[in-house]
Amino acid sequence: MHHVPFLPLLACLSFTIIALAQNETRDLTQLLQSNKNLSQFTTLLTSYGDIYANLSFQSDVTILAPNDDAFNKIPYTSLGPAFEANQSQIVRSILQYHILPGLHPAGGYNGSFSFDKTWLQNTSYTNVTGGQVVGGVQQAGNVNVFTSGLGSRSTLITPDLPFIGGIVHVIDNFLIPPQNFIQSAPQFNLTAAGGAVENTSLAEYANSQQDLTIFVPRNAAFQALGETLQSMPSSQLQRLLNYHIVNSSTVGYSTNLPNGTVLRTRSGQNLTITFASNSLFVNQARVLQQDLLLSNGVMHVIDNFLDPDAPSVTANPEIPTAPPLLTGTSLSENVVPFTSFLPTGVTSFDTSSASPTGSFGASDIGKGTSSSTSSRRASSTSSSQERNGGSKLNLQRATIAVNSGLLGALCWIIGIL
């Protein structure tokens, strides 16, 4: 009768169990429970059982998880009223905005912005094809930053925590879901543009039309022509503003605007994008702030008006600011025109509206701007992130399988000795 050597077999089984335990990635519940600085995020996530359950079945997903300190800041931000009043649908949309399909490891970001889709697709809060986006960039010192609505910034604190199905990045501030144009414009001192859009009955279109790109003249450009603009017939002013609005199937984030891009505007004329001397231009106007996210697209701040009667004018990168194409006179005391047309309380938190024109309000969490030199990125960045992250996870899974097979074979050999 053949006797199996008990001690060698027991040692083999023990080694197998230990090796598998070391290689096996934790599930999401285990990961969250092991990170004490995510206790409040864990409570929030598990309170939305459908989202939590859905995450358990994902194969590749990235979660941007605010730490406990970020939760402690909520009362001092524009998100406070929604959380305090337990407005579950708004809080749900905020939570969805922190979940990205695909793997986006920290090492996949570089010095140029990428704009990654999120789970926020509810048309009550966003009108961007495929879901609202969050910006990601790696800054000096290998510091990763995520940008969201109203220029809010969240810094990556702890990267690449793996779980079965994806990774978690711990961030220091909540992401703010982007707002509509009228709510967003005043946050970037674009009160004249916001008021002019209201005055010409373009607000509904600018706030809710899907996949818009808006090139917004700064207040100074409106000031220089204040009297002339205010005396324009409404139809003429509307035509001028329409020349600054692009509606296409692709949102015009800076990553989608390579040198030479031609865009068709709402007024029917074309705009031409130029990238020169490390700056972005649209026709002759220099882009001062890029990629300010909107609930239905993106806006870029420009230094001067674009002229629909001069669509072929090109940029001159050698000068800081091109002379205005439109001429006119300013108002007395250089008053900013059209600001009186902004809705009352436009900068306040509005939790009553559930439409593409609804808003979460102004954020007190570090507003930031996108500079001309930092918003360009290679078109392959996003796909390379997913490939790199997917390769890591697949390699991890393959390692577990190989180890299991080899150890099992070893035990079988010992068993028949």
Q: What is the mean pLDDT of residues 28-50?
A: 97
Instruction: Note the pLDDT tens digit of each residue in 321-357.
Output: 988 899 899 888 878 999 999 998 764 334 333 344 4
pLDDT for the residue 24: 60
pLDDT for the residue 344: 83
| C-alpha triplet 52, 57, 58: angle, nearest 5° | 95
Nearest of 291, 91, 77 to residue 173 by alpha carbon? 77
Q: Identify residue 230 by its one-letter amino acid code.
A: Q
pLDDT for the residue 417: 47
pLDDT for the residue 45: 98
Long-range contacts of 324-329 (CB under 8 A, 24+ apart): 324/221, 324/224, 324/225, 325/284, 326/225, 326/228, 326/240, 327/225, 327/228, 328/224, 328/225, 328/226, 328/227, 328/228, 328/229, 329/225, 329/226, 329/227, 329/228
The answer on pLDDT for 408 being more than 80 is: no
CA distance 323 to 286: 11
Instruction: Note the pLDDT tens digit of each residue in 146-186.
Output: 999 999 999 999 999 999 999 999 999 999 999 999 999 99
Q: Is 204 exposed, middle or buried (0-12, 13-18, 19+ CB in 10 A)?
A: middle
CA distance 377 to 77: 31
The answer on pLDDT for 305 being more than 70 is: yes
Strand order in the sheet with 285-294: 245-247, 212-217, 297-302, 285-294, 279-282, 270-276, 262-264
**CB-based contacts of 159: which residues, under 8 Å, 6+ apart?**
105, 106, 144, 169, 170
Number of helices and strands (H, E) in the chain? 14, 14
* Segment among 20-29, 30-39, 291-300, 408-417 with least mean pLDDT: 408-417
Instruction: Note the pLDDT tens digit of each residue in 244-273.
Output: 999 998 999 999 999 999 999 999 999 999
Instruction: Note the pLDDT tens digit of each residue in 214-230.
Output: 999 999 999 999 999 99
Nearest of 385, 394, 384 to residue 105 by alpha carbon? 385
Q: What is the mean pLDDT of residues 201-206?
A: 96
pLDDT band (50, 70, 90) for residue 23:
very low
C-alpha dist (Å) from residue 417 to 9, 304, 411: 10, 85, 10
The answer on pLDDT for 121 being more than 90 is: yes
- In DSSP terms, 145 is beta-bridged to 137, 155
Query: Higher model confidence: residue 367 or residue 279?
Result: 279
**CB-based contacts of 96: which residues, under 8 Å, 6+ apart?**
51, 118, 119, 120, 121, 122
C-alpha dist (Å) from residue 282 to 33, 245, 254, 325: 50, 12, 11, 13
Nearest of 131, 157, 145 to residue 37 by alpha carbon? 157
pLDDT band (50, 70, 90) for residue 25:
confident
E-only strand ranges, 16-152: 61-66, 99-101, 114-117, 133-139, 143-147
E-only strand ranges, 221-329: 245-247, 262-264, 270-276, 279-282, 285-294, 297-302
What is the percentage of the chain residues whose pLDDT exceeds 70?
Answer: 77
Token pair recorded at residue 71: 């939760």
For helices 88-96 and 39-47, give the axis angle rounded to 10 degrees: 120
Q: What is the mean pLDDT of residues 16-24?
A: 43
Please, how many CA atoms are within 13 Å of residue 415, restricted to the half-sphere of its CB?
9
pLDDT for the residue 405: 42
Token pair recorded at residue 282: 């649209």
Counted residue by residue, the chain has a size of: 417
Instruction: Note the pLDDT tens digit of each residue in 85-97.
Output: 999 999 999 999 9
Query: Higher model confidence: residue 75 or residue 367?
Result: 75
CA distance 171 to 177: 15
Q: 3-class secondary structure for 113-149? A: CEEEECCCCCCCCCCCCCCCEEEEEEECCCEEEEECH
CA distance 317 to 315: 6
CA distance 227 to 332: 8
pLDDT band (50, 70, 90) for residue 56:
confident
Find tokens 């702030």 and name the residue. Answer: 289
Q: Give me the sign of the Cα torsion angle 378, 214, 221, 328.
A: positive
Q: What is the mean pLDDT of residues 205-221?
A: 97
